[in-house]
Amino acid sequence: MTAMDVGFVGLGAMGRGMAGSLLAAGHRVRVWNRSPGAVGELVAQGATAAAGLPDAFAADFVVSMLADDAAVDALLLDPALLAGARASVHVNMATVSIGLAERATALHAEHGIGYVAAPVLGRPGVAASGELNILAAGEAAALAQVEPLLTAMGRRTWHFGDRPAQAATAKISTNFLLACAIESLAEACSLADANGVRPTDLVEMLTGTLFPGPVYSGYGSMVAERRYEPAGFRLPLGLKDVGLALTAGAGANVPLPFGSVLRDAFLDALAHGDGDKDWAAVAAVARRRAGLPA
């Protein structure tokens, strides 16, 4: 394998593991983060600290993993930054809106930079082990150039088309379904608990029969045990993704009636001080509605 020169922007819970996977695969990685602590952690693993965003974009390729549209817009869609960039392709691995994906694609094209959207499925531990599922879309030539980087970070790359907005759409749809699954688990467990059935027994039966797999077993145990910390995916990010789904639905005239229920449940959880907990803590709202201890 030929080592690639990569700038990595965004060293949060997911980004640290992803950058570490690139280093483990033998790539040369220069890292940048708004807070310096995570930079030191990656430098200790063999990365180079970028002097700033222009230095990160002076690499042959850039990978970014930021929290939301606002962060991507403010930090990475600066025309001056892109005009001075040496990078040939930017891979944005954050979950962002369809509108931002379209704007980013056009702006990068204006400056001769390929743009690939590659949001991921997996929690921080999965990112650290290089076992993410990656949902990718972009021009074929750009995807081919960055395929070794995606391979280093993920167990499989799922291709959704030649427009980056297609990958954004796939990820928004996926996270909307995950939120629906958590809410339905919460309501089912509340129904069971209110009628004398232990939620843990219900989840054990469900995951051993009708609903095997990581979503119902993982989130099911968290909901049944009311175990919402440590947060693998913080509740405010869940609210953000439900909002992205509602916006995408409105833009395409696709009603998402359950999305409004989810949005209000997440807001209820935030209002009750659960913002630092995992998004599975939305289950506490279903318990409160049922008159059960949250």
CA angle 32, 74, 98 (to 5 degrees): 105
Distance from C-alpha of 235 to C-alpha of 111, rounded to nearest angstrom: 36
**Could you tell me if 139 and 162 are in contact, meaning their C-beta atoms sit under 8 angstroms apart?**
yes
Percentage of residues in the chain with pLDDT exceeding 70? 100
CA distances from 241 to 9, 47, 266 (A): 21, 31, 11
In a domain, 280, yes or no: yes
Q: Is 179 helix (H, G, I), strand (E, B) or coil?
A: helix
Same domain assignment for residues 158 and 173: no
pLDDT digits (tens, 9 = 90+) for 111-121: 999 999 999 99
Distance from C-alpha of 52 to C-alpha of 5, rounded to nearest angstrom: 16
Give me 147's structure tokens.
């395929």
Same domain assignment for residues 192 and 146: no
Beta carbons within 10 angstroms of residue 125's beta carbon: 11
In a domain, 214, yes or no: yes
Mean pLDDT of the chain: 97
Same domain assignment for residues 101 and 232: no
Give me 222's structure tokens.
């968290």
CA distances from 240 to 26, 32, 105, 223 (A): 35, 24, 22, 20
Same domain assignment for residues 11 and 135: yes
Same domain assignment for residues 127 and 192: no
Q: Is residue 1 scored above 90 in pLDDT? A: no
In a domain, 121, yes or no: yes
In a domain, 33, yes or no: yes
Distance from C-alpha of 217 to C-alpha of 200, rounded to nearest angstrom: 11
Could you say which of 162, 189, 213 is where a domain stops? Answer: 162
Confidence of residue 30 (pLDDT cuts 50, 70, 90): very high
Same domain assignment for residues 158 and 13: yes
Beta strands, E only, the chain: 5-9, 28-32, 48-49, 61-64, 89-92, 114-117, 120-121, 132-136, 154-159
Could you say which of 162, 194, 217 is where a domain stops? Answer: 162
**What is the per-residue pLDDT for 36?**
87
CATH of the domain at 281: 1.10.1040.10
pLDDT digits (tens, 9 = 90+) for 121-154: 999 999 999 999 999 999 999 999 999 999 999 9
Q: Is 84 helix (H, G, I), strand (E, B) or coil?
A: coil
Same domain assignment for residues 122 and 44: yes
The position carrying tokens 């949005």 is: 263
- Which residues have a catalytic role annotated? 171
In a domain, 184, yes or no: yes
Structural domains counted in the chain: 2
In a domain, 84, yes or no: yes
Percentage of residues in the chain with pLDDT exceeding 90? 99
pLDDT digits (tens, 9 = 90+) for 145-185: 999 999 999 999 999 999 999 999 999 999 999 999 999 99
Give me 256's structure tokens.
């998402």
pLDDT digits (tens, 9 = 90+) for 189-234: 999 999 999 999 999 999 999 999 999 999 999 999 999 999 999 9
CATH of the domain at 16: 3.40.50.720
Same domain assignment for residues 258 and 155: no
**What is the per-residue pLDDT for 37?**
87
**Could you tell me if 103 and 76 are in contact, meaning their C-beta atoms sit under 8 angstroms apart?**
no
Same domain assignment for residues 284 and 150: no
Same domain assignment for residues 40 and 105: yes
Same domain assignment for residues 30 and 49: yes
**Could you tell me if 64 and 14 are in contact, meaning their C-beta atoms sit under 8 angstroms apart?**
no
CA distances from 47 to 50, 167, 270, 273 (A): 9, 28, 37, 37
Same domain assignment for residues 199 and 141: no
In a domain, 294, yes or no: no
Supply the range of the domain harboring residue 194: 168-289
In a domain, 51, yes or no: yes
Could you say which of 162, 179, 197 is where a domain stops? Answer: 162
